[in-house]
Structures are given as structure tokens and as C-alpha cells.
Structure 1
Amino acid sequence: MRNLTLRQLRTLQAIAEHGKIVNAAKALGLTAPAVTIQLRQLEEELGLELFDRTATGMRPTAAGLVATDAAQAIEERLRLMVDAIDAIKGVRAGSLRLGVVSTAKYFAPRMMAAFMREHPDIEMHLLVGNRAETIDNLKSHAVDVALMGRPPKGGVPVEAVPFGDHPLVIVAPPDHPLADVHDIPKKRIAGENFLIRERGSGTRISLEIFFSDIPGRVDNLGLEMDSNETIKQAVMAGLGIAFISAHTIEAEVEAGRLVILDVAGLPIRRQWFAVRRSDRSISPTMAAFHDFLTRKGAAQLPLVGKLYPADAVSPTV
């Protein structure tokens, strides 16, 4: 173990990420034989094969997964060391990898711009994905901080800090029969055709909770679509109604292309959370971003409160 090198560990990460020796070599700026030698030396040092050589590429073995996770952790610790040394030197530079669920992409650029105005020398990288992808990015150390509505429970140790309200509403096209109806009963709205996100998404989980007391409704929620944009377009086209984050529909409501239905018990108010791994040290850039969210995070969210009465907001679910 004493003879492991950073080059070997980075070679391991590249092969795991790209799946083939030739692709890993290209990413590292090396030749394929050089990458093969690095991998062979690493396997000899550990005494186990780290990849299964298959027709479709290199698949990590159990030992390979353990070694890759360790390599990622070492790389992360080195990056934290650089940030900490820069902080000691008084350097205000650094980098922050921000992961956001797809719903948060509507305000994340605004939030990044505001943060970077306060910290112009901090380089930021944005990675957008669905809930499952964002959690995977936390697990693999691909992001430093993730913005999401429901922090993960189990699988990865995290610390989650709320920074603003996240209201969820039901929207319909302006000519929908219920557009002008007040205090629509839950059972009445449950009879409508819903357009929904994929299984596991935070919005869908909240809708399942909302309809959980209506027998059989959760078993067949509606037509599944893969993005908020697709859902909004489908609602405007008259394909159904949608339970959606109010932070995604401000422009369409103001333009009169969508309306928020007045449903009893809605809006549901959740929270936006900044999530980080609790088993890793906080870098100076992460601390600066946390401080920014505490002070100004809520102010960067879309001003959706004007779209519905403030006293209509229901408890968090």
C-alpha cells in the first residue's frame, strides 16, 4: 500500500468514469499503454483485479469500487487542502461545485451570480440533475453542495440547512373549467388528469403524500414526463393539469399562459435545503456559500408569493 501513487489513483478514477482504457487515456492526456501499465501496477500493489474486462468496457469489481471511492476521497482531501492553504495565505480564490435538482435550475444561475458578485475570485461549476442524479453526485463527491427540496435519508451522511420556502401548487391552462372555482375540494381535483414527474422526484413524493388519504389515487397518478418544461408545455396544450413547484411557473402565470388552481390545502410549503456531506471538512468556499445562503438565499428565489394569498400556504408535508 505504501507504493500507491496519485497518478495510479487518478488513472483508476478515469477508467471508472470513462469505461474504456482508450477513453481514459484521452482524458488523462496519456497513451493507452501507459494507462494499462498504471492500472496493472496498481492491481499488483493491491493484490486484486480492480476491473472486469468485458466486451462493452471496463467494469469495476468489488475491490475496484472500494479503491475508486478511496481515490475520490483522497482527491477531495487534496482539493480541500489547497483551499485551506489559500485561506491561510489570505487568498480569496477557490472553487465550488454546486449541484441542483432540475427544479432549482430556475433560480440557481441568479443565486450563483449574486454570490460571485460578493466573491468574484471564486470559480463556480453548476451540475443539474434529477433528485437521484444529484444524490449520486453527493455520494461520489462530484459536487460540494447540493440544492434540493428533500434531503436524502440514508445512503450518504449529510447535513442539510434550509434557506428558503418552496411552495408547491397545481396549475392548469387558463380555460380550464376549474380556473375560476374557489376552494376546490381535494376529492374533486383528484379526479383530474395529472401530468407528473418521474418516480423518486421530490415533487412527485409530495403529490403522493397529498393524495395518500384518497384510496387508490396514488396507484395511478397520471402521465409521467421527464422535466418541468415538458410538463408546463403539456399543461398549456391542454393535456392535463400539474402539481409543480411555484418557482418554475412565475413567467407563465404572469403571461397568462398558466393559472394556479385554488385547491383546498394548497399551496404546500416545503423548504429548499443546501445539502453537503457531513463526513467531509468544510472548505473556505463552502463556508462562504453557506454564509451567503443564510443571509441572502431566500431573496434569490422567485417572487411567487404574489401569485397566491400568503395565508393560503399549508403546513409543510
Structure 2
Amino acid sequence: MLNLLRNLTLRQLQIFSAASQYESFARAAEALHLTQPAVSMQIKQLEEALGLTLFERIGRRITLTEAGATLSHHAKRILGDIKDAEDAMRSLSSADGGTVSIGLVSAARYFVPRQISRYSERHPKVDIRFSIGKRDLLLRQLQDNAIDLAVMGRTPVELDAHCEPLAYNPHVIAASTTHPFVDAACFDLHELRHDTFLLREPGSDTAAVASEMFQHHLFTPARTLALDSNETVKQAVMAGMGVSLLPLHTLRLELLAHEVSLLHVNGTPIDRVWHVVHMNAKQMSPTCAAFRRFLIEKTGAWLEGLFADLTPPAHAANPFVQT
């Protein structure tokens, strides 16, 4: 087994990592521009050399065994370190090239891709790749060096990570345009005690903010319904199924189209903060550092301008607006 690990090729690691990510030899083959038999053969050779089964086959679906999960963890870290080395070498010959990988919690998908587009217009040789995942997944990817940066709300105190504020992340109570309190100037949260509260699933940043709001107001909704995504929550709100506490930045299109209303509940908007996160041990390439700096310097003011006509007056002094 030791001889196998010494002679393990980068291509074999890439094939195995892709198969474990997609849980499909066919999808791994497509992503790597290989044939499915070629992927299957490489995995079989790995299993035979190790004397261990890396995948369980259940119909057309494959899942990692315990041995496969262990190898997958190390493969991600090795491939991440190799990418760091490639970026560092590339940056020596071109300060405006290289690859950056960034993970986003679901609510950040509503604004970070636009920032990526803005940056790419200025730096077309930089390849910025992003993925969407739950907070726990992003934390694992940061630890495994599978991503360079992550954008999330709550700071990950459980990691040895550096967190930098990006922008205010106001949370608002959204309702259908026919809700009886749409035109109410200001009212207490307890006035909504008979409403159904549509919540994100436990573990999400938004669910955590809602829980803190309920505790702060000593409030218990008559009924709650947990849903799996912001899009599902928004559709349920528009359908009049209930009200929801949501990040303001997920609602721009619905507010512009007058499909959702914001209720003026005392204590809202609830100000939270967007953060960009990287591991303290991360050897950040100049390309990655430049993109991170762009996010920190530009995101706050840009978001405030984007929502200026859709929200209550901005804070008198906003530390996220660069002057």
C-alpha cells in the first residue's frame, strides 16, 4: 500500500476526487472529458492496489465507503495544495492571472456572482470559480483547502480562520402584498402571533437569526414551517402561506416587481454582517489576495446603492462604505 501511495498520480487523484464529488462515474467522466470506462478502470486499479473498496455500488449510484471517505479527505487537501502551488507559480509570471475558488452560502448567491463579473471585466485572465453550499459544507471545504475563500454570515468560531466584514446583511420580515399589516407604520412582532412563520432549515444562517429574534422578543409563532431554500420560502410568501424573516439581499427582484412587501416590525431590519473567510494557514496567492481585497473594498457601498430605493434610510455611519 505504501508503494501505491508513492506512485499515485495526480490524474488518479483527480479522477477519484471527481467520482467522489459527483457520486457518479458518468458525471466524473463528463467533467474530466474522459470516457466512463476509463474512469471505472482507474478506480478499479486503485481499489485492487489498496485491497480496499472505495465505492459501494447501489444501482447506478455510488457512495463512498469508510476507506473511500478517508482517501477523499486527503485527496481534496492534496489537490488544493497543488492548486495553491500552481497559482503561486503563475503569479510570478503574471500578476493578473491564476485561479480563485470561492464558496457561498445560498443567500450570498444573490450578489457575489455580480461582483465576480465586475472583477472579471477588469481582470479577464483571472479564472474565478464559485460554488453554493450549506455553511457546514463550506467549513469542511475551507479545512480541506478545497476552496480559497468563503462568503457567509456567521463567523466560524470553530475554525482557525480569518474573517473580514464585507457589508451589512439586513434581515427583514417579508409578507405577501395582501397581508393586512402591509400599510402599518410600525408594530410589535407579537402582532404576528397568529401568522405562520416560514423558516429556513435548522443550521442555516437565516434560521439562526430568526431564532435569535424570537428569543429577543420572547415570541413564539403559532406555527412554523421549515423550507429548504430561500427561493422556496419566497414562493411560499408570495402565495400568502405565511411571513418570513429573510436576508434583504435575496429579495431585490421581488421588491422591484411588487410581488413581496416588507413589514415594518419594530426592531427590523435586523443588522447582521456578511464576512469573507479564509483559513489562517492558507498560503494565499497574490491573485486570490487581490480578489479578496476587491470584495472587501467594493461590496458594501455597491450593495447599499443597489437597495437604496427599496429599504428604510441607511445607517448614518456605515463602516462598509469606502470613502
Alignment TM class, shorter chain as reference: 0.7 to 0.9
- Describe the shift of the 1:195–1:75 C-alpha distance in structure 2 as closer, same or farther (beyond 3 A): same
Q: TM-score normalized by structure 2?
A: 0.81
The aligned amino acid for 1:110 is R
Query: 2: CA distance between counterparts of 1:174 and 1:140?
Result: 45
- Describe the shift of the 1:291–1:230 C-alpha distance in structure 2 as closer, same or farther (beyond 3 A): same
- Describe the shift of the 1:51–1:308 C-alpha distance in structure 2 as closer, same or farther (beyond 3 A): same
Query: 1: CA distance between counterparts of 2:217 and 2:54?
Result: 50
Q: What SS class does the counterpart of residue 232 from structure 1 fall into?
A: helix
Cα contact 1:107–1:302 (8 A) shared by 2: no
The aligned amino acid for 1:197 is R
Structure 1 position 69 matched with structure 2 position 69: no
Worse-matched range after superposition: 203-212 or 60-69:
60-69
User: Which residue does 1:84 correspond to in 2?
Assistant: 88
- Describe the shift of the 1:308–1:122 C-alpha distance in structure 2 as closer, same or farther (beyond 3 A): same
User: Which residue does 1:176 correspond to in 2?
Assistant: 179
**Could you tell me which of 1, 6, 19 is aligned with 1:2?**
6
Structure 1 position 245 matched with structure 2 position 244: no
Q: What SS class does the counterpart of residue 275 from structure 2 fall into?
A: strand
User: Which residue does 2:100 correspond to in 1?
Assistant: 96
The aligned amino acid for 1:95 is T
Structure 1 position 123 matched with structure 2 position 127: yes
Q: Percent identity?
A: 36
Query: 1: CA distance between counterparts of 2:148 and 2:298?
Result: 19
The aligned amino acid for 1:204 is A
Question: What is the CA distance between 1:35 and its match in structure 2?
Answer: 4.9
Q: How does 1:19-168 map to 2 (within 5 A)?
A: 19=23, 24=28, 28=32, 35=39, 38-39=42-43, 42=46, 48-52=52-56, 58-154=62-158, 157-168=160-171
User: Which residue does 2:321 correspond to in 1?
Assistant: none
Q: What SS class does the counterpart of residue 6 from structure 2 fall into?
A: coil
Query: 2: CA distance between counterparts of 1:226 and 1:6?
Result: 37
Question: What is the CA distance between 1:124 and its match in structure 2?
Answer: 1.8
Q: How many residue pairs end up in the alignment?
A: 311
Cα contact 2:20–2:64 (8 A) shared by 1: yes
Question: What is the CA distance between 1:211 and its match in structure 2?
Answer: 0.5
Question: What is the CA distance between 1:274 and its match in structure 2?
Answer: 0.9
Q: How does 1:183-262 map to 2 (within 5 A)?
A: 183-213=186-216, 217=220, 222-262=224-264
Per-residue CA deviations over 1:244-285 (Å, capped at 9, x if unaligned) read 111122343344333222212211100001122334321222
The aligned amino acid for 1:4 is L
Query: 2: CA distance between counterparts of 1:255 and 1:27?
Result: 38
Query: 2: CA distance between counterparts of 1:162 and 1:133?
Result: 21
Q: Structure 1: give runs of 5+ residues left out of the alignment.
A: none
Query: 1: CA distance between counterparts of 2:251 and 2:30?
Result: 42
Q: TM-score normalized by structure 1?
A: 0.82
Query: 1: CA distance between counterparts of 2:295 and 2:35?
Result: 44
User: Which residue does 2:320 correspond to in 1?
Assistant: none
Structure 1 position 270 matched with structure 2 position 275: no
